[in-house]
Chain A
């Protein structure tokens, strides 16, 4: 009953047999061991599983792996390089936008979606763009600052968000 899918994840192509019921997040975590994408709830609420699917932020707990067939996916492991952080990753470090780190990958991917749409978001726009991502540690204060940092850096360096 398994189905063959072919996806490009972080610029690498994978062809895998998956069970139709396998959620994309478990495909990433269990089949590919890309464990940076987390599961924090059962109800499509918390956003810890956020990835970019064809450039847009989605909650990978609510997408079947088969639905992603033929798509391009970016996960936290692929948004920057270890020795060359993405400006959003850099922002989170510089502005102390994380504590326990569990929500962080999803936050960074949601921020990437925002900054693609709006290169100069206001504080209110940032807060509204994060409504699908919960953080229990930071009170969001420094997450907002992290994204402001990233927005400025992206503007200054004129790099593409993705």
Chain B
């Protein structure tokens, strides 16, 4: 292999480091207008009147629309893409999510009026001149409050604010019995706080209706342009899908928040036809805080039972998951099938049950944020493990070793069937903990810690061992679980007559480096130079179809689709080569970019075969010209990366401030195509996971105001908040995809959060503190120490 497994420098970098990237807001279309959306300042308010007359009269204002203008055309709103039924079989409550609200605002940031002007400054001026009268109503923001008796209702047709209830695992009675017989039960009440994704590029969308072609083009900051096209064309605007082109150009980070089809995308598309001019909307940062889907926000009670030796005998989990005011695209799937299914962890827990309610609140919609459900599951499991170790006087590493599922490769040994629906593909959990302990120097650290404590210095170490499910996902499986879409991926490999190769992938890169990683695969499989490969993505007109990038799926699913098409190219190429070399196909071998007749020096190059395919003068009978193949790859299972994360912290005894001294991560993401890129994915995930533990978290007040909706108030991790990370990996290949790859995008974020919190709890172990709510702000820690 020339490229696979090597840290090839990224081919996409040059445009970004020279300022030549092309993000949505960079795009200028002649005659383009600029939109600003007037949004509700209240979490729950009846709209009494809307007066746009002063705004409309301002010079430079092009048009103003309200929700009434839109609903008059029969448009209902944006749908969700996943259905979860109530336990009793009733379908979940699925209220409409209008593009602009007409009667009632249900969260701060709900769009009410769109103002379109010649330039952005004028649009802002005019938006300020729109006068809306409200009758402010009581609101509810926190999930546990939403289900209390008398809580304000978000939707009239959803009693007690419950969207659905749901359970998974062994029969509850069996789990209750297992816990009743346990020697020790560790119980934690856990808030997994609401996170705000904060991709650095704010969302942006440009709608452009071309009357001559009767065709719409939408440029948007999307992780999956095809899904946006499908949802918007077929389910929101009711326009023909083939007359809609969605382009997601360079996208500045997503972390889940750009998966979803947002109201603004449909709005600018609708408005562009209405006014006959392109319409651009670009979010401000505070607007992003108030409109990008948030993540997490679970209130959980979790109990884990152990026998005398420390073996886990059962796990019982009860969770209320916040969904926000509306159901975002994947919202119902996140707390259920991406969370409850992960409660096995990497332990042999014989009995598991989760009971969960998804609830509406007067807040921004909640959906997938890096890790999506799996961080929440890992957090509660790993907090339980370290807490149990403390309570039972056992070493936290020892407790894990005792309960790990033994190694299985998924080839000679079967996959591991969990109690919560999944079958893990392959795993070797002991190996990552072994390596982590070695890297941190565990015994030595414990000695240092004891010594430091004598001098009043509070050092702590925390562990997290995790397994996650990504590479989403087998379409039949997700269909059975409520998905309204398949989760395959497509790839087209178009060999040009000169042997250069264009690859069209339905995956979408917004930082992941697909142009490099995918080129490495293509170049190696075809035995050609990487420079001869171009990766094209993000345009629904050039790429046949795509399900996009999220759930750490691009390589495992999108990469596998490319491999399928490459195999088809080589298969056809062999037929042409056999003809040209006057040999049988089975007598040929392909290596280093040429077909050779085995045992001879007769060969023909990939380039010559490519040319022959397009200039088929001397060509096999019954074979079509051309060398161009599409494939759709539908995985047979999720992939299951795993790892061990270890944090070392110091708590300032005077102020409670936590300093992260070291962070060790050993992750197993299966085979690795580009180690440099995989390491980068891990680093970024770690920073986000650590951010959740120590710094970040949305704060809603009792009126439903998001009080920290700016970077002056919401603490983003900065360079000097973090140490350099110490990372390594083990390699346990995925047994069920052609590349043997799992997924690396979310692993860092899934494992790291509990490691940090566990480390702080370890540092504070002398204070009798068992649990603290994230983020572990200095004041929270200080208060706990002085309670």
Contacts and interface: CB of A to CB of B under 8 A. Distances in A.
Direct contact of A and B (CB under 8 A): yes
A131 B720 contact: yes
A93 B13 contact: yes
A126 B18 contact: no
A21 interface: yes
Interface in B1-38: 7, 9-10, 12-23, 25-26, 28
Interface string B664-703: 0000000000001101110111111000000000000000
Chain A interface mostly helix, strand, loop or mixed?
Answer: loop
Chain B interface mostly:
loop
Contacts of A134: 200, 711, 716, 718
Given A42-B284, A134-B716, A92 B23 contact: no
Contact of B719 (A21, A39, A77, A131): A131
Contacts of B21: 36, 101-102
A30 B680 CA distance: 33
A5 interface: no
B202 to A, nearest CB: 7
Most buried by A among B10, B686, B718: B718
A77 B718 contact: no
Interface of A: 19, 21-22, 29, 33-43, 45-46, 48, 75-77, 80, 82, 85, 89, 92-94, 96, 98-105, 108, 123-124, 126-128, 130-131, 133-144
Given A45-B711, A127-B719, A35 B14 contact: no
A139 B686 contact: yes
Contacts of B121: 19, 21-22
A128 B720 contact: yes
**Interface size classification for chain B:** 35 or more
Contacts of B635: none
In the A-B complex, the 3 residue pairs with the smallest Cβ-Cβ separation, listed nearest first, are A36-B19, A101-B16, A102-B252
Contacts of B686: 139
B200 A46 contact: yes
B17 A42 contact: no
Nearest to B255: A136
A143 B200 CA distance: 15
Nearest to B712: A43
Contact of B725 (A40, A43, A100, A139): A139
B500 interface: no
B20 A42 contact: no
A99 B19 contact: no
Contact of B18 (A89, A103, A135): A89
B252 A100 contact: yes
Given A101-B16, A135-B200, A142-B680, 7 more contacts: A29-B26, A98-B17, A99-B511, A100-B252, A103-B200, A134-B711, A139-B683
Contact of B710 (A42, A138, A140): A42
Contact of B10 (A35, A96, A144): A96
B357 to A, nearest CB: 31
Given A45-B712, A98-B13, A102-B253, A139 B200 contact: no
B17 A141 contact: no
B683 A100 contact: no
B198 interface: yes
Given A42-B286, A131-B719, A100 B201 contact: yes
B512 A93 contact: no
Given A43-B710, A144-B724, A76 B284 contact: no
Contacts of A108: 17
A137 B682 CA distance: 10
Contacts of A123: 724
Nearest to A88: B17
B3 to A, nearest CB: 16
B75 interface: no
Contacts of B243: none
Contacts of A96: 7, 9-10, 676-677, 679-680
B250 A141 contact: no
